[in-house]
Amino acid sequence: QVQLVQSGAEVKKPGASVKVSCKASGYTFTSYGISWVRQAPGQGLEWMGWINTYNGNTNYAQKLQGRVTMTTDTSTSTAYMELRSLRSDDTAVYYCARPWAAAGKGAFDIWGQGTMVTVSS
């Protein structure tokens, strides 16, 4: 079945970097982009950006420009999200999600299970 499986929970110190993976299966990886969305504890959803898995083009949320990098490895159908210079307010569950282009922008039909990233000294 179509699914996105993410890497496990991470605990990082302030100033460090984290790299979360998202492995796709059940569909042609390069036919759909991948977006990343995060959710701080008890808070709402925040879109982080998007990567075109076919050509590697990216579009990052302005707030995260300069600290986030999204990449893919098409040989393993895996997307990655790296966030640098971590702060306490980066503590959140990070989700990868598949945009459903036919449904319009902002429609994500498949989601990963989420990866908890905790930033603490």
Residues within the interface to other proteins (CB under 8 A): 35, 37, 44-47, 59, 61-62, 95, 97, 100, 103-109, 111-114
Nearer to other proteins, 54 or 108 (CB): 108
How far apart are CB 19 and other proteins at their closest, in Å? Answer: 20
User: 37 or 83: whose CB is closer to other proteins?
Assistant: 37
Strand ordering across the sheet containing 68-73: 3-6, 18-25, 78-83, 68-73
Distance CA 51, CA 69 (A): 10
Q: Shortest distance, CB of residue 80 to other proteins, whole angstroms?
A: 18
Nearer to other proteins, 11 or 103 (CB): 103
Give the closest residue to 90 by CA, choosing from 53, 63, 110.
Answer: 63
d(CA 77, CA 84): 23
Minimum distance of other proteins from residue 75's CB (angstroms): 26
HSE-CB of 15 using CA atoms within 13 angstroms: 1
